[in-house]
Amino acid sequence: MTTSPDQKPTPQNSTHQHAPGDSDTRADTPADSGKVSDPGFVVPSWMHWLGGWVHRRPRTWIKLGNVESRAVQDAIADIRVDRPVYVAGLARSGTTVLLEHLARHPAVATHRYADFPPLLTPYWWNRWLALVPNSQEKAQERAHKDGIAVTSKSPEAFEEMLWMAFFPDTHDPAHSSVMGRDAANPEFERFYDEHIRKLLAVRKRQRYVAKGNYNLVRLGYLHKLYPEARFIVAIRDPVWHIASLMKQQKLFVAGETSEPRALEHMRRVGHYEFGLDRRAINVGDDEQTRRITELWESGQEVKGLAHYWAAIYAHVADTLEADPELRQACLVVRYEDLCGEPRERLRQVFDHAGLEIAPDTLEQAASGLHAPTYYQPKFSDEELAMIAGITAPVAARFGYGRSAAAPPTTDAGPEVG
């Protein structure tokens, strides 16, 4: 959402920014997060209208996607989805930086900002974009104000649009969003597989990588579909995680209030982590989800987010504990470890994904990862005690043995995410 209303849909200037559960990758802006730069939330008219058409007519676009698959059958006939890599984590846990580094690998294809709005017909849309004359494109900072500059070719978390097209209730807090090994939807599974193969074909790549924070509740289903899939699950110290979530919520509420189209854009791309229509993921406990929502609505942000953090990661821990094969396919990456030992952790990530990375490339990537040092979570002692009381049992399952309030020990630099 960084384009101006008069821009046209070209591969260079169709950059837009939203909150897909994007995680801290570099920096939360030192400036007051409540002060919003309206241009960062502007949605161009062409994008607003086309995006609305796609969103309101999912069955039409599913049919178009199927027509496209038949039309390009020769191009995808010999392509299989080989060891897809899924990056997932509660928003602000480090997923964006992991996606960005994986997406730079020459074998990897991901969704990009330019794939929106007609995401369900990736082959035709990208072939059309390739015919548009190139022009100079300047990277722009995301609406998150976290120091991440993106272009239309930057990787983005758009897979959620596919899930919403086939599972319209997936973001309804009144219903469980969990999809385990017992989930089944043959129509979706065929469409999804063909979609990935078309993306690989049009990008001329061999491996698919997706960032999808909501995939935290679909790990079992995805592993059933692709037994060779690799999963990278990001997690962050709850005190710092909650502080970052609160900063982004304040930013997006202000941005969507000043730019109403931005709210509709968030809904269309399936990003409900922040803003005026923030929705809790229901991990199978309706009462728990209602309680979290009530806490948010009553202004008890810290308590609500603490319960939310605990609910999400307790579900992840329970899922992995109950499924040894899935646990073997998952790599849990703690934000603090990624910041404190970037070279070692990135090497571990690429090894787990089955992707080779040259030593100089690894060194360059690691040199840019640091934790924030210019701000501290502004919680009272009572709030810190409350966060610890709610989250500590779950945090301990992921190796957080120190005080939840202790800041990560890293060099100065922009925030990872």
Predicted confidence at residue 142, as pLDDT, reads: 53
Neighbouring residues of 290: CB distance < 8 A, sequence distance ≥ 6: 173
Residue-level pLDDT, tens digit, the chain, 417 residues: 433 323 334 333 333 333 323 333 333 333 344 444 456 788 889 999 999 999 999 999 999 999 999 999 999 999 999 999 999 999 999 999 999 999 999 999 999 999 999 999 999 999 999 888 766 667 565 555 555 556 667 899 999 999 999 999 999 999 999 999 999 999 999 999 999 999 999 999 999 999 999 999 999 999 999 999 999 999 999 999 999 999 999 999 999 999 999 999 999 999 999 999 999 999 999 999 999 999 999 999 999 999 999 999 999 999 999 999 999 999 999 999 999 999 999 999 999 999 999 999 999 889 878 776 645 678 999 999 999 999 999 999 999 975 444 433 333 233 444
Instruction: Identify the DSSP state of 23.
Output: P
Sign, CA dihedral 95-299-389-371, equals: positive
Number of H helices, E strands in the chain: 17, 7
97, 26 in Cβ contact below 8 A?
yes
Predicted confidence at residue 414, as pLDDT, reads: 34
Q: Where are the beta strands (DSSP E) in 33-176?
A: 85-89, 108-109, 140-141, 149-150
162, 168 in Cβ contact below 8 A?
no
Report helix angle 186-203 to 58-71, nearest 10: 60
Kindly list the distances between the CA atom of residue 300 and the CA atoms of 311, 314, 355, 406, in Å, as whole numbers in the listed order: 16, 21, 43, 23
How far is 192 from 252, CA to CA, in rounded Å? 30
* DSSP per position, 194-249: HHHHHHHHHHT-SEEEEE-GGGGG-HHHHHHH-TT-EEEEEE--HHHHHHHHHHHH
- Half-sphere exposure of residue 337: CA atoms within 13 angstroms, side-chain side: 16
Predicted confidence at residue 401, as pLDDT, reads: 78
Predicted confidence at residue 147, as pLDDT, reads: 54
Q: Please identify which residue in the block is written with the tokens 């960005």.
A: 100
Domains of the chain: 38-397 (3.40.50.300)
How far is 165 from 147, CA to CA, in rounded Å? 32
Burial of 323 (0-12, 13-18, 19+ CB in 10 A): middle
Predicted confidence at residue 51, as pLDDT, reads: 92
Instruction: Identify the DSSP state of 344.
Output: H
How far is 15 from 216, CA to CA, in rounded Å? 26
Predicted confidence at residue 313, as pLDDT, reads: 98
Q: How many CB atoms sit inside 10 A of residue 395's CB?
A: 24
φ, ψ for residue 242 (rounded to 5)?
Answer: -65, -40
Which amino acid is residue 70, in one-letter code?
Answer: R
In the numeric block, which tokens belong to residue 372?
A: 């924030």
Find out whether the peptide bond into 168 is cis, omega within 30 degrees of 0. no
16, 265 in Cβ contact below 8 A?
yes
How far is 2 from 227, CA to CA, in rounded Å? 38
Q: Where are the beta strands (DSSP E) in 242-383?
A: 330-334
* DSSP per position, 148-179: -EE-TTSB---THHHHHHH-TTTT-TTS----
Predicted confidence at residue 40, as pLDDT, reads: 73
Predicted confidence at residue 221, as pLDDT, reads: 98
